[in-house]
């Protein structure tokens, strides 16, 4: 039986929500092994002068705990 842990990461991009999601995964992958899934639980856009200036995502990343 495997044990899975879930962490929450917030990321931002000036390009798109997809880019923000990719940045969240890349940041987590630097220190977390065995990543199995990524769930975007929230989207947010920052607006200035009636234009989107930043895309933000709140991600839940699941990974298998080693040795389980």
Model confidence pLDDT, tens digit, residues 23-32: 999 999 999 9
pTM, 2 dp: 0.88
Per-residue model confidence (pLDDT) at position 68 = 67
Give CA–CA dist 65/33, Å, rounded.
Answer: 9
Q: Looking at residue 31, which CATH number applies to its domain?
A: 3.30.1660.10
Residue among 65, 68, 15 nearest 36 (CA)? 65
**Cα(34)–Cα(48) distance, rounded to whole angstroms?**
39
Based on the structure, what is the number of domains in the chain?
1
Q: Quote the domain boundaries for residue 46.
A: 4-64
Distance in angstroms (rounded) separating the CA atoms of residues 24 and 2: 24
What is the tens place of the pLDDT at every residue in 33-66?
A: 999 999 999 999 999 999 999 999 999 999 999 8
**pLDDT for res 1:** 72
DSSP string for residues in 8-21:
EEEEEESS-HHHHH
């Amino acid at each position: 039986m495997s044990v899975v842990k879930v962490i929450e990461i917030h990321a931002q991009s000036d390009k798109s929500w997809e880019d923000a999601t990719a940045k969240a995964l890349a940041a987590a992958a630097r220190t977390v092994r065995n990543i199995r899934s990524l769930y975007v639980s929230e989207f947010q856009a920052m607006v200035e002068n009636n234009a989107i200036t930043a895309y933000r995502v709140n991600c839940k990343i699941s990974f298998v705990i080693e040795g389980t």
